Structure 1
Amino acid sequence: MKKFLKITAAIVLLLLICYFGFFKYRQIRANNVSIPISTNALLKINVDELYKTIAVSYIKHPNQYSGSDKKGIKEKVDDLNTGLKIPANIYLYSLKGKAKTTFFSSFEIADTLVFNHFIQKKSSLPLIKKDSNFFQSKDSTFFILFNKITVAFAYTPQKEQVKTTLVEILNRKNMIKVGESRFKQLVNLSDHISFQNTGNFSKINFTDGKISFSNEFINQMIVPAAKPQHRVLNPESTVSMWLNGKFKSDLIKKNQTVSPSLLSKDSFFRFYKDYVDFEWTNTITQVDTVVGYEYNDDFERVEKKVLQDRKIPSISMNLAANDQEVSDYLKSLGALDQPTGKISSSMIPLYQVYFKGNSGSIQLSTVQSAKPDLKRISSDDFFYFKVDFKKLIKQTPIPLIADKLGTFSQLEIKAKSTGKDKIKLESELLFLNKDANALIQLLKVFKNGFNRSINFNFSVDIPVTK
């Protein structure tokens, strides 16, 4: 029995060594690929790590992947047979002198006949043959050029001329290995997707029920507070956000246009100092005066006012600002009812909003009795944002939101300063289904027509408040 266990253990160990050795070999080969010296942005897709993550998820939760697709294994493999060698890592790059949205890449061809059949007969993107080895899409945004061993392609929404560049990529002209380029830090990353350019370094990972995203970038807009603080917001809020930092003076100078709306970006930059927070806690009932018209006994058209209950969000926004200056501004426009604090609906439509000012801060709220709490606590982050999609769907009667955002549970974003003019942003997008891989779920959302279903065909009754 002991001998049998030892043999079994040895076999398992050997299989594991072969398994990890195989993937390690693929990584080494993939990281020896070359990119043009003129590359100014590089996107890496770690194919093997995605395979492994999804495979583990399939083993743990096989019922999550047993959909209505009844194709056999052979048919599925045939559908994926492009004639290309899929490497451990796929690199997409943009180049100097080209638009930022134009990307290039290349693949080795494993089977020329299969590849030719794929691009001419089976490709989901209709291609037009321009010459023997050069094809382009009908809208002139996608191009491929190939020889017997390699295919190079370009995607250019700007419809740039890219054939010369594709020829240089095929001929390996002015190329450098990724590991020897200024993008070498991407080489050994195990993240599913990573991206780098002059001012950004981003990473994305797809696990069961969650997408994790991080981005370090050069900050051109905000000067974060040296020691960030924020008010304690309700953790059960539908939406909550706070920002503790100043906007750079160059940005403010560009936004000094006088605007009649208090919530416009122009007014915001005019009054904002160094802190703002926003909170949507729940749904409340607000009584609106709806103005209508009817005819009296003398057939004269007369105005009639009707009180109407309406469900609206309980929203509060607190802003560090000169409260007296904001109050005087509202009074000068005749937009503030001083006894009640109500702001005119011509300035803030849709909801009744109330103004309060206190010791260098103001509060705008749909709740007249709301009292601002000015106490703050310390934080490592200068920015925070969270939305609870479950509560948002429940409190927002818009079919589109329920139909498409119903897949998600919560989005949370944090940002902190990591040095002079540098910011690190981290976020998590959670799904309601915690068992299926997030990438698979996301692809299903888009497959079901996420971008085609955006149709704001709904009516909203806007009452007139007097």
Structure 2
Amino acid sequence: MKRLLWITAAVLVLLTLGTGLFFAHRQRQSYAVQVPRGAVSVVKVQVDGLVADVLWSQLWSPSPIKRDAERGGTYRFLRSGIGLAIPANLFLYQFADRPRVLFGVLRINDVGELQAFIRQQDWAYEAATPFSRVVSQHLVALHSADSIAFALCWEPGEQLAPVAEHLRGLLQGDQQEPLAASRFSELKNRKGHLNIMGQHALRLDFKRGEIAFSTDGAGDAAEFPSQLKTGNTGFLQLPAWCWSLMPPAWQSGGHTVSRDSLMRYISGKTCVQWRGATTQQDTVINYAYDDDFNPVEVREAVDRSVPALFGAISSDTKHLAAYLAAQGILDADLARIKPEVFPLFSLYTYADADKRLFFSTVQDAEKQLAAVGKGSGGGDFLYGYLDIVSATQQGVLPGRLEALLAPLSTIEIQGIRKADAEMVVHGRMTLPDESVNSLVQLIHSGALNWLP
């Protein structure tokens, strides 16, 4: 009996050691990649780590992913039997001239198996030498006998010629260098399921019930000030230093606002509360015909629901309002932001003696605005919160935005300013089921069906 236990223990140790060596070898192999010198950002997807966490989550909280015909075959590239070698870490590249496209390269194990898989899909396929071409709504790919270069297009209708040129460069090894010698070499040491490195850094982790994100790569949990979201559908706090991160100037409705001028008058934080919904009247213009069949303009007042927003800007109110009026942002009596500047809904403005400029979607809301920004816990930090479930129930979100946010329950974000003036942001997006991995829930919801 004792001998059997020793043998069992030895087998388990060998299996553990062998598994560890196998995955360590896969990690080393995955980092032996060539990076295009022209890439402006690189995305690292930790495939092995992500799959392990998803399987662990499924082990304790089974939630089978439906693959019915209506939902499509999300993540078909990660299925077995398609002739591709999936690395431990997948690297994707972005180029300046194609900002909405991610490019990548995979090794082909069996080109015949890959071609058979492609022909089973609703994709256009053109076999040619030296590279065959695959085109679908969100995918463009070129492949040889041993490698496939692919482009994931965020929006359909990308111009094929420039995309194909980048794909050919990836397959031919044009202007490439080892990852270890590139400016993206730090990606090898970055933890997290997904890391983006370029002008800014971003890390994402798909946890149970939530997606955590961070801009500093550390992924530490943020201390979210829960009192700021109490009773609100949404809340936003912008410290004065946030305005320094804005563009030097921006335009809206033909009117220009200067960042430096705003910072001259804004002295403290800006707070916005979203407290349910309110009703505003819109004027809808239609045309009828008179007795002589001439078109006659007909104006009709229509009620519509909009977010009940209450905001306050700590500032030199008198001079800030005068500047905004001079730039054409506020109307002549300083009571409203002009519709051409903010066309989504009407925003009314007020000033008080406490050096705050108020704005709201509710007319005559002075009493309701008095407490905005007071007792918010202070703190020189950026904070944002949105209860997506509540916002959806109110029926005030634009249709496209509502569809984009549908899989999520809440979004929460906090930003602090470091000594070197860099802003570090931590946040999380929660999903309905706290016990199931967030990526599994996204796939189950159909949110990722645009992927091949």
Q: TM-score, normalised by structure 1?
A: 0.70
- Kindly indicate whether the alpha-carbon contact (under 8 Å) linking 1:319 and 1:361 is maintained by their aligned counterparts in 2: yes
The Cα shift of 1:196 comes to 1.1
- Kindly indicate whether the alpha-carbon contact (under 8 Å) linking 2:249 and 2:259 is maintained by their aligned counterparts in 1: no
Question: Is 1:183 aligned to 2:184, yes or no?
Answer: yes
Q: Residue 61 and residue 132 in structure 1: after superposition, are their counterparts in 2 closer, same or farther (change >3 A)? A: same
* Equivalent residue letter for 1:146: S
Q: Residue 450 and residue 396 in structure 1: after superposition, are their counterparts in 2 closer, same or farther (change >3 A)? A: farther
- Kindly indicate whether the alpha-carbon contact (under 8 Å) linking 2:81 and 2:113 is maintained by their aligned counterparts in 1: yes
Please identify, of 134-143 and 180-189, the stretch whose mean Cα deviation from structure 2 is larger.
Answer: 134-143
The Cα shift of 1:91 comes to 1.2
The Cα shift of 1:325 comes to 4.2
Q: What are the equivalent positions in structure 2 for 1:20-419 lying under 5 Å apart?
A: 20-62=20-62, 64-65=63-64, 67=66, 80-95=80-95, 98-119=97-118, 121-131=119-129, 133-137=131-135, 142-147=140-145, 149-154=146-151, 157-161=158-162, 166-197=167-198, 199-216=199-216, 233-246=228-241, 247-248=243-244, 251=247, 253-255=249-251, 272-282=266-276, 314-325=308-319, 333-334=332-333, 336=335, 353=348, 355-365=350-360, 366=362, 367-370=365-368, 371-372=370-371, 374=374, 377-379=377-379, 382-396=381-395, 405-419=405-419
Q: Residue 445 and residue 420 in structure 1: after superposition, are their counterparts in 2 closer, same or farther (change >3 A)? A: same
Matched length:
400
**Using the alignment, how far apart are the partners of 1:363 and 1:175 within structure 2?**
54
**Using the alignment, how far apart are the partners of 1:154 and 1:345 within structure 2?**
42
- Kindly indicate whether the alpha-carbon contact (under 8 Å) linking 2:274 and 2:307 is maintained by their aligned counterparts in 1: yes
Per-residue CA distance 1:4-39 (angstroms, 9 max, x = gap): 444433333332222222211111111112223444
SS, match of residue 149 in structure 2? strand
The Cα shift of 1:106 comes to 2.0
The Cα shift of 1:194 comes to 1.1
The residue that corresponds to 2:293 in the other structure is none
* Equivalent residue letter for 2:271: D
**Using the alignment, how far apart are the partners of 1:352 and 1:253 within structure 2?**
22
Per-residue CA distance 1:324-363 (angstroms, 9 max, x = gap): 3467769982465xxxxxx699899967957341232122
**Using the alignment, how far apart are the partners of 1:18 and 1:350 within structure 2?**
62
**Using the alignment, how far apart are the partners of 1:29 and 1:135 within structure 2?**
27
**Using the alignment, how far apart are the partners of 1:91 and 1:161 within structure 2?**
20
**Using the alignment, how far apart are the partners of 1:309 and 1:128 within structure 2?**
54
SS, match of residue 22 in structure 2? helix
**Using the alignment, how far apart are the partners of 2:320 and 2:181 within structure 1?**
56
Larger C-alpha radius of gyration, 1 or 2? 1
**Unpaired segments ≥5 residues, structure 2:** 70-75, 218-224, 284-300
Please identify, of 27-36 and 391-400, the stretch whose mean Cα deviation from structure 2 is larger.
Answer: 391-400
Cα RMSD after superposing both structures: 4.5
Per-residue CA distance 1:169-228 (angstroms, 9 max, x = gap): 44445433212322121123342111112x2112111112111112259xxxxxxxxxxx
* Equivalent residue letter for 1:134: S
The Cα shift of 1:384 comes to 0.9
Please identify, of 421-430 and 43-52, the stretch whose mean Cα deviation from structure 2 is larger.
Answer: 421-430
The residue that corresponds to 1:457 in the other structure is none
* Equivalent residue letter for 2:105: S
Per-residue CA distance 1:403-447 (angstroms, 9 max, x = gap): 774532210011222354522222200001112221122233345
* Equivalent residue letter for 1:88: A
How many percent identity over aligned positions?
19
Q: Residue 111 and residue 312 in structure 1: after superposition, are their counterparts in 2 closer, same or farther (change >3 A)? A: closer
- Kindly indicate whether the alpha-carbon contact (under 8 Å) linking 1:385 and 1:413 is maintained by their aligned counterparts in 2: yes
